[in-house]
Chains A and B, each alone.
Chain A
Amino acid sequence: MAAVTTTTRIRPEGRRFSPGRVLAWTVMTAIVLVTLLPFYWILRTALSTNAGLAAHPGDPLPVDLTTGGFERALGLQSTKEAIAQGGAGGGLKFWRYLLNSVVVSTLITVCQIFFSAMAAYAFARLRWRGRDKVFGLFLAGLMVPAIFTLLPNFVLIKQLGLVDNLLGIALPTMFMTPFAVFFLRQFFMNVPSEVEEAALLDGAGKVRIFFRVLLPMASTPIMTLAVLTYITAWNDYFWPLMVSYSDSSRVLTVALAIFRAQTPQTGTDWSGLMAATLIAALPMLALFGFFARRIVGSISFTGIK
């Protein structure tokens, strides 16, 4: 930490070169480098040939600049060509997996947030018997680690005949998560009651107030929650791994693990694998880049891991 020596004299911001500040900036720079370098390394690897990677493992620039890795990841190369370049030649229906990921994440995000907002409104602004008891039950649900319900949920999804189906992947988190309900309830609680009373005087019903007044007011927390939910759904691996068996319901994370497992005789197709990870990660980077300012400002305690 910066050891700032100050006197009681009020000084303008002019401590540019104290040793403490230099040290602190050095640490900060190191943190940024460790954070970002792997991203550069993915790109550099994806744009190299596997032969080049083996010959010059330490070269900071792409070796034998090529888009072959991306072509293999996207399934644009013929099997023969892929094997010649150190790929597995296994068919990767990349676009299919991408579409599956988009469908599952969108379905989960839209439904979960809409239903959670409805429940949050009922908990925060409506008066009914047993409200606090039911909410207490939801809060208790926060305590159950997600992992615990996965096995019984798999049994349930299997009984419903939804294994290897995108709906089966989405269902468990489609209606709510205790966290989403809790998060939105906190916001609705803090909306001044005058807002609602004024709308009631204007003759609006409670349903209309929810849709026309409260939901628009909650747009920032809803957006933050939506982006976090989307990222979580997109990055989920364990549950989709359990539920999907074939290409028809395979999402990107599971596909990447399979790509990694399809090691050809010559060794792992690092170039193709890194290209695939980059393409899998890009949508989230873009999504975050778009909303970053607002999210970084309003991030709160989430139990998302």
Chain B
Amino acid sequence: MTIASSSPPSRLPLGGAEGARTKQRTQRAPAREGRGDGRLAAVFIAPALLGFTVFLLWPTLRGIYLSFTRFNLLTPAEWVGLDNYVRMVHDPIFWASLAVTVEYVVINIGVQTVSALAIAVLLQRLTQSATLRGIVLTPYLMSNVVAGLVWLWMLDNQLGIGNEIIAGLGFDRIPFLADETWAIPTIALINVWRHVGYTALLLFAGLQAIPGDVYEAAKVDGASEWRMFWRITMPLLRPVLAVVLIMTVIGSFQVFDTVAVTTAGGPANATNVLQYYIYGAAFGRFQFGYASAMSVALLVVLSAITVLQYRITRAGQSDLG
């Protein structure tokens, strides 16, 4: 059973021991009296193509179009050229929310990547327990809303267990989600809690592709685990790590749910992340044109990150081949 990863540079056989043995066999459909299957294919592809066109392709084009209009849902969209973009460039709240979003992404991705890597390596080198793999995935089953609410409670200033422990140790209570400095790091870490297990399993899937005898050979040569990690694991995992990073960064930029249920953008815009600001512009103030322009800006940022990371990955191909 092989499910190849969707990473262009490296193709990983996934799915346990069986998968590791299966060869990649990519074949064309068998030739059949030289006739194509055009009509049949049209039937098979129709529903997906309909969904793709109506709910992905068309909205993408429409979103770009709307960004050049003034549109409040009630009256037809009115073309205003670059007005929304000019306004965006001069909007201090937009820039502040972009800065807050970047701060969130840096903390979230930094902590999550390091933790996920540690968990994946532990699951690979220390124990092969499937139960433990199941356990680290459990927070991923919660919605962001649930994760946000649970930590909101645990970090509550007066009654939360987190602050009970801090006070018990003789420190001052920390208003984690009500303080301008603490709020973003706190939300970033809440989302690490929810997603780190999933990220770790993706990395673990990549680690499974590294042949065990490489480690055995290194061990015979007297290499320590620490050295093996830097000399074997990291170089071979690089392409997988890059793909996972692209995915998690793009996901991280779209943070919304956790902010909505914990701080609602406050205190004083300290957690007004881009997605939350866009939502407020569209559904709070009915500025759909302006909200679309900010969405386009986000799309451009994400595309740039993808291209950049892809370039970096191509430069650092794994030695696994």
| Chain A interface residues (CB < 8 Å from chain B) | 1-8, 20-21, 24-25, 27-28, 31-32, 34-36, 38-39, 41-42, 45, 53-54, 57-58, 115-116, 118-119, 121-129, 131, 134, 137-138, 141-149, 151-156, 158, 171-176, 178-179, 181-183, 186-187, 189-190, 192-193, 196-197, 200, 206-207, 210, 220-221, 224, 231, 234-238, 241-242, 253, 256-257, 260, 270, 273-274, 277, 280-281, 284-285, 288, 292-293, 296-303, 305
B14 at the interface (CB under 8 A from A): yes
Supposing A38-B151, A296-B130, A305-B254 touch, asked if A155 and B44 sit within 8 A by C-beta, the answer is no
Known contacts A174-B51, A193-B29, A288-B137, then 15 further A-B pairs from the complex at CB < 8 Å, ordered by chain A residue: A2-B125, A41-B161, A57-B159, A125-B29, A127-B29, A148-B63, A200-B30, A220-B1, A260-B149, A260-B261, A273-B149, A274-B153, A281-B141, A284-B142, A299-B201
Q: Does B82 sit within 8 A of A, measured CB to CB?
A: no
Chain B residue numbers with a CB within 8 Å of A58 are 161, 164-165, 168
Instruction: Name the A residues within 8 Å of B40 (CB-CB).
Output: 122, 126, 206-207
CB-based contact A21/B126 at 8 Å: yes
Cβ-based interface call for B56 (8 A): yes
B170-204 CB mask vs A (1 if < 8 Å, else 0) is 00000000000000000000000101011001100
B295 touches A151 (CB 8 A): yes
User: What B residues does A256 contact at CB under 8 A?
Assistant: 145-146, 149, 261
Per-residue CB contact flags for chain B residues 151-172 toward chain A (1 = under 8 Å, else 0) read 1111010111100110010000
| B contact residues around A125 at 8 Å (CB) | 29
Cβ of B5 and Cβ of A296 under 8 Å apart? no
> Does B224 lie within 8 Å of A42, measured CB to CB?
no
A-contact bits for B288-313, CB 8 A (1 contact / 0 none): 10011001101100110010000000
- State whether B122 touches A35 (Cβ < 8 A): no
In the bound complex, CA of A126 to CA of B29 (Å)? 6
Mask, B103-120, CB within 8 Å of A = 1, is 000000000000100110
| B3-A175 in contact (CB<8A) | no
Residues A148 and B153 in contact in the complex (CB < 8 Å), given A153-B55, A192-B27: no
CB-defined contacts of A35 to chain B, threshold 8 Å = 135-136, 138-139, 193, 197
Give the tally of cross-chain contacts (CB within 8 A): 350
B47 part of interface (Cβ distance < 8 Å): yes
B134 proximal to A (CB < 8 A): yes
**A residues in contact with B154, CB < 8 Å:** 38, 41
Show the binding face of B for A, using Cβ within 8 Å.
1-7, 12, 14-16, 19, 22, 24-32, 36-38, 40-42, 44-45, 47-52, 54-60, 62-63, 66, 73, 115, 118-119, 121-122, 125-127, 130, 132-146, 149-154, 156, 158-161, 164-165, 168, 193, 195, 197-198, 201-202, 205, 219-220, 222, 224-226, 229, 243-244, 247-248, 250-254, 256-257, 260-261, 275, 278-279, 282-283, 288, 291-292, 295-296, 298-299, 302-303, 306
Q: Choose from A123, A182, A192, A234 the contact partner of B25 (Cβ within 8 Å).
A: A192
| A60–B6 CA distance with the chains assembled, in angstroms | 45
Q: Which residue of A lies closest to B279 (CB)?
A: A238
Knowing A231-B141, A238-B256, A277-B150, the reply to whether A301 touches B30 (Cβ < 8 A) is no
5 pairs, CB–CB < 8 Å, chain A vs chain B: A118-B48, A141-B57, A144-B60, A190-B25, A285-B141
Known: A270-B153, A288-B141, A298-B15. A1 touches B197 (CB 8 A): no
* Residues on the A chain within 8 Å of B145, using CB: 235, 237, 253, 256-257
Alpha-carbon distance between A127 and B195 when the two chains are bound, in angstroms: 40
Chain A residues with Cβ below 8 Å from B121 are 1
- 10 A-B pairs closest in CB distance: A175-B51, A305-B251, A235-B143, A119-B48, A152-B59, A58-B164, A176-B48, A122-B44, A126-B37, A149-B59
How far is A200 from B32 in the complex, measured between Cα atoms in Å? 10
- Among residues of B, the one whose C-beta sits closest to the C-beta of A255 is B145
Identify which of A5, A236, A274 contacts B150 (C-beta below 8 A). A274
Which one of A31, A153, A171, A301 lies within 8 Å of B6 (CB-CB)? A301
Q: Please state if A183 and B6 are interface contacts (CB–CB under 8 Å).
A: yes
A154 to B62 CA separation, bound complex (whole angstroms)? 11
Please give, as numbers and ranges, the residues of chain B lying within 8 Å of A38 by CB-CB distance.
Answer: 139, 150-151, 154, 193
A215 to B224, CA, bound (A): 47
Assembly CA distance A277 to B291 (angstroms)? 31
